[in-house]
Structure 1
Amino acid sequence: MPSPSGTGASRQEYGTISPTYTGMPELLAAQAPGFLDKTSLFKGCSAGRAFFHVDPQGLATMCKVSRENPVDLMSEGLDGLLRLPGIADAQTLRTGDCGGCRLSGTCRVCRPLAKAYQEAKAPLNTYCRHGSEEAS
C-alpha cells in the first residue's frame, strides 16, 4: 500500500487485530462477526523479525498483540531485540487450547491473537472454526 504522506514508504493495516486487553468478554466493534475476514488462512507473520512493538516503558515485544516475554530496552539496549525472533517462534506455537487441534492447519488467526480471545472469554466463533458451522 503506498504511503498517504507521499513519502513512498509502504504500510500495512491489520484491521482484525483488536483483542480486549481488559479481559472482559464484550466484543469490540471490530470483532463483530460482520467485520471479521474469515476467508484467508493464517500462514505466519514476520513478528519479531520485520517489526516489533515497544510500549512507553521501553518494553519491546514481538507484536502489539503478544505482550509476553518483553525485552527491556532500557536495561538491555538495542541488542536485546536480537532475542525477539526466538521469542516469536516460541509464542506462535499452537499451545494451550489450540494444542493438538485437528483444524490448526486452517486457522485464520495467529496463536497470540487466539490466546487473547481465549483469555477474554470471547465466543469461540469470533476467532476459531470450531465455533462455526464450517467446522462440521
Structure 2
Amino acid sequence: MRKPFTGCNAGHTFFHTDPHGQVSICKIGRDDQISLPRQGIQGLARLGAIADRLMLRTGGCSGCQLSGSCTVCRPLAKHYQEAKAPLASYCRHGKKKAG
C-alpha cells in the first residue's frame, strides 16, 4: 500500500529544467514552463504559484470523494487521464480495502 499523497515541494524548493532552459515544477508537471533564456531567473519567482495550481484536484479528479487518500500526485494523474489510461492503473477509486 502506498501512502496518501499529501503534496510535495515541487516548484517551491526545487524545480526541473530541460537542456533548452525550460523550467517546470518537476519532471512530471511540465505545464506552464518558464523560459530561463527569455525570462531569466526572475521568472523562477512564479514557480510557487504554478505549483500550487497544478497540484489542485481538477479535471477528472475534481469532486472525488477519495482525494484525501489518493496516492498519486495531480500532475501524474493528469498524464494518465490524457493518455486515456484505465482508471485502475492510477486510481484506487472504488476499490475496497483488504481486511
Amino acid at match of 2:82: E
Provide TM-score, normalisation by structure 1. Answer: 0.68
CA deviation after TM superposition for structure 1 residue 46, in Å:
0.1
Determine the structure 2 residue equivalent to 1:94.
57
Identity %, equivalent residues: 56
Aligned residue pairs, count:
97
Alpha-carbon shift at residue 132 of structure 1 (Å) = 3.1
* Amino acid across the alignment from 2:81: Q
1:64 maps to 27
TM-score between the two structures when normalised by the length of structure 2: 0.91
Residue of structure 2 equivalent to 1:105: 68
The structure whose Rg is larger is 1
Q: What CA distance in whole angstroms lies between the structure 2 residues aligned with 1:102 and 1:76?
A: 40
Question: 2-side partners of 1:55 and 1:39: how far apart?
Answer: 29
Task: Report the Cα distance in structure 2 between the residues aligned to 1:93 and 1:109, rounded to whole angstroms.
Answer: 12
Consecutive unaligned residues of structure 2, counting only runs of 5 or more, are none
Residue segments in structure 1 that go unaligned for 5+ positions in a row:
1-37
Aligned partner (choices 84, 95, 98) of residue 132 of structure 1: 95
Aligned pair in 2 of structure 1 residues 97, 91: CA closer, same or farther (>3 Å)? Answer: same
**Contact 1:124–1:131, Cα closer than 8 Å, also in 2:** no
Contact kept in structure 2, 1:51 and 1:62, CA below 8 Å: yes
